[in-house]
Amino acid sequence: MAFVDYPLPNDLAQSISSSHPSATPSCAPPLAQLPEEIIEYITECMRYPIYPRFEATEAFLTEGRTGCEIYWGFSPLSSNAPRFSDVRFSLSSFSKVCKFIRSAVERLLYRDIHLDIVSWTRHVVGTSDTQKHPMWPAACLRLLLRTLEERPDLRRFVRSVALRWSLWPQSTSKIEKQLEFLRLCPGLQSLSFSVIPEAVLQFLEPLSLQITSFAAVSLAADVPHIIRVFPNLTNLHLHVHGRPSSLSIPDHKISGLSIALIDPRGSLLQLAFAVARGVKAFHLAGDRKAFPLPTPSMQASVQHMRLKTINPFTSIKINDTVYFPLAVMTTLHHLHVMRPELLHIYAFRRLPPSLRSITFSDYGLDSTKSAADSKSCFVQSVVDCINANSQSVKLAGIKTYGAIPDDQWELGDLTPVRSLCLEGRVPFIQIGAYADIEPELMIFFK
């Protein structure tokens, strides 16, 4: 990465000099003479190059984007650790441009760390030693420990750590080195494990980590232990499998909960609902057709809910009484349904009065039709559903997001939506595509 030494305009040079009279020597390159805030902003753009800023507010109808994403609170590191490992090389090069900007760049360079315990090393031929693999971008634990020992000032910058853990048993000495690294991160807030074995939880408990976000693949039986080990969690993201040994969940401070069920049998759903006690944002994924009746605690707390391959627009009969699970969620503001089925014409008949928006993504999955035709059929089912329930549904507007406007292969034929909004005199807005964002159709209510 090279920077050309262009002369600064006199007024800009005087402005920088007056605002930062002793920031850098006069011999420093122009880049280093920029205010530190600008250097940090440049670094931030390099660190998170594709993440737009989301606003989960009612103003989303006219600008920005809603959905539950901002409420999960997870560092992008949780699901994009390898991507950051690539970006890390650019940040490292940027920090070496000149010594005057290194301190500003290092604050972000060490904020998020991805450690691959499985494949970040390769064996040195003829020895039992390992070294950093030149073609694998994840951080090397041995070199990282050395750096943090020699530069204690860097430790306080570490905020998020993602560990790709091995399922194979590891020696106590290797586990101790990994724990030693965590001990050297006093400001750690977010921790992510590819897999979290019970044995590792036992090692982590004495550390008393004060993290607020945790993500991992876990056995159902270990979920209560995870909550005990990290009592300050406000955000928890788990991919759960196996059978729970207990549905007794310790008291917690979790407000954002995301649970994917590998085998969504009844006991796992009960576990998910037991953990969801008092949460405000709830994400549930699992191959199950109907959404079960929420617990009383969930009914009175969940404000943002995202469901994947689960149909919330159903009824349940319990002891000769018919319940509508969605209708009893009296605090629900935003609902996001991923991979939905075609809507029944009366799907919107029993929506909670508090609901302000419904988002559909990854819709139109009929394999017997083309993508455009399948998505168009789903869009038409949404319009038919709104028209059939016009007495109870007060439409405030419709928006598409994450695709080129009017792209039928991504969104379907939007002609019925445009006509509906024109007839109801409500806004219809289309926002373009963003990287890694699934196309979405969003319905807003008054």
pTM: 0.78
pLDDT digits (tens, 9 = 90+) for 416-443: 999 999 999 999 998 876 655 778 899 9
Domain-located, residue 301: no
Domain-located, residue 393: no
The one-letter amino acid code at 247 reads L
Choose the weakest-confidence range: 46-60, 104-118, 334-348: 46-60
Determine the pLDDT at residue 355: 93
pLDDT for residue 413 is more than 90: yes
Q: Are the C-beta atoms of residues 411 and 363 closer than 8 Å to each other?
A: no
Determine the pLDDT at residue 227: 94
Determine the pLDDT at residue 123: 46
- Alpha helix positions (H), 151-261: 172-183, 198-204, 223-229
pLDDT for residue 4 is more than 70: no
Determine the pLDDT at residue 265: 64
Report the pLDDT averaged over residues 333-338: 93
Q: Band of the pLDDT at 64, cuts 50, 70, 90?
A: very low
Determine the pLDDT at residue 442: 92
pLDDT digits (tens, 9 = 90+) for 205-223: 888 899 999 988 888 999 9
pLDDT digits (tens, 9 = 90+) for 14-34: 443 444 444 445 556 677 777
Determine the pLDDT at residue 42: 82
The CB density around residue 195, as the number of other CB atoms within 10 Å, is 16
- Best CA proximity match to 51, nearest among 16, 20, 77: 77
The count of domains in the chain is 1
Report the pLDDT averaged over residues 223-251: 90
pLDDT for residue 72 is more than 90: no
Domain-located, residue 2: yes
Which of residues 69 and 88 earns the better pLDDT score?
88
Domain-located, residue 331: no
Q: Band of the pLDDT at 372, cuts 50, 70, 90?
A: very high
Q: 219 Cβ partners below 8 Å, 6+ apart? A: 198, 240, 241, 242
pLDDT digits (tens, 9 = 90+) for 261-317: 876 667 788 888 899 989 999 999 887 667 877 888 888 899 999 999 888 888 777
Token output for 178: 């990994």
Q: Band of the pLDDT at 401, cuts 50, 70, 90?
A: confident
d(CA 446, CA 429): 16
Tell me the C-alpha to C-alpha distance, in Å, between residue 129 and each of 111, 176, 290, 413. Answer: 29, 17, 53, 60
d(CA 278, CA 236): 13
The position carrying tokens 């064996």 is: 123
Q: Are strands 121-123 and 190-193 parallel, antiparallel or unpaired?
A: unpaired
Token output for 54: 């989301």
In 310-346, which positions are buried (b, 16+ CB within 10 angstroms) versus exposed (e)? bbbbbeeeeeeeebbbbbbbeebbbbbbbbbbbbeee
pLDDT digits (tens, 9 = 90+) for 182-203: 999 999 998 888 888 787 888 8
Per this entry, what is the length of the chain? 446
pLDDT for residue 346 is more than 90: no
Domain-located, residue 3: yes
Which of residues 264 and 181 earns the better pLDDT score?
181
Q: Are the C-beta atoms of residues 200 and 225 closer than 8 Å to each other?
A: no
Q: Are the C-beta atoms of residues 236 and 260 closer than 8 Å to each other?
A: no
- Best CA proximity match to 293, nearest among 265, 251, 268, 327: 327
Best-predicted range by mean pLDDT (60-64, 80-84, 311-315): 311-315
- Best CA proximity match to 133, nearest among 124, 121, 149: 121
HSE toward the beta carbon, residue 334, CA cutoff 13 A: 23
**239: β partners:** 217, 260
Domain-located, residue 30: yes
Q: Of all residues in the chain, what percent carry a pLDDT higher than 90?
A: 29
pLDDT for residue 242 is more than 60: yes
What range defines the domain where residue 22 resides? Answer: 1-34
Question: CB burial class (10 A; 0-12, 13-18, 19+) of residue 214?
Answer: buried
Which of residues 333 and 9 earns the better pLDDT score?
333
Instruction: Share the mean pLDDT of the chain.
Output: 77
